[in-house]
Structure 1
């Protein structure tokens, strides 16, 4: 039985200090009346799709927030904000940054139609990463950044083809869209999240999984 008054935060963890900061931000969120939250850390995960599937299948919450351990939710009204968007049953996934179209090379951030914002340190320095403004309450997109993926339906992650830490996010967006659900980026007056990721490593299977993504979703 799905519990529609429950929000689960699912987090892959390999650094307990960073996770404790992530957890403290979650515990600081405003929880709507009659709702409950749970925090599910994933330790010793070989890859995200399998870990996310295990947590998805073991949790009864309708609303699931899959986030990296270095993502800190600074919008204390986060839960109310996502519930308002999820009032539209056609919306399956919410993210904070994304692309309206995915280029043929599969690299979402090279799209000319990027939207959203986040405080981010991918250059090595923390700063505001800001794309085009969302015009209304939200913009529909083809894909979002996996730093945070918020869902209101359970659709299996493609652990059969993605066995690393790349392209699981775009894959999941396309799986939702196949079933007719929308993927959206909401309007954020100020960013909802800080992503203290540091300089991104694209050497650990990025290109291999990019080609898998193209083969399965673009061609």
Structure 2
């Protein structure tokens, strides 16, 4: 073990990864950290985009773990200015996610490599396209305004490994705003609707695209990089297969 004994996590995925691998290390987590269900005495320190910097420093963490996309640079700089060590991850695809998990858990925290990480590697090594041919899709992550997955995203990489081609993967932006009329006319085989960050449901989302099958997927399994990765290929494949 390293000298790190007090960790604040500003990323739900990493909160779950640390909590499952080393219960007791976490002293602070965000309001959006929901897994695992029992986070012990960890203090809620605000949202991923608006953490309470003062509260975090009062917790005297040995390390704050963050992500370049989920957290804001000014907050992380404020923590560093207060003398707090901050580790910032970058996750754009599955291989990078696995490397970053190793960097956090083994490199920074000094843990023995957890078994679930090897399980995740095996699960994805055995994953393949769902169905007999590749499906083209767009993937809304918000509405009012409609926003979709664009280029260079972790979720897009997972879907590609399951045979779903994101038609906006070549867009200049990572999360472009696209008018609903353009989405409906994109000529896709299906629309993929995760339940986070926007909570799409059977009643909220598919009605905007009545001519397309809709696959409602678990956002945690599509966008989180942690223990959920081990079961994600199965869960996502089931959701894609159930598209209607």
Shorter-chain TM-score above 0.5: no
Name the structure, 1 or 2, with higher relative contact order (CA <8 Å, separation 6+): 1
More helix by share: 2
TM-score normalised according to structure 2 size: 0.27
TM-score normalised according to structure 1 size: 0.29
Higher-Rg structure is 2
More strand by share: 1
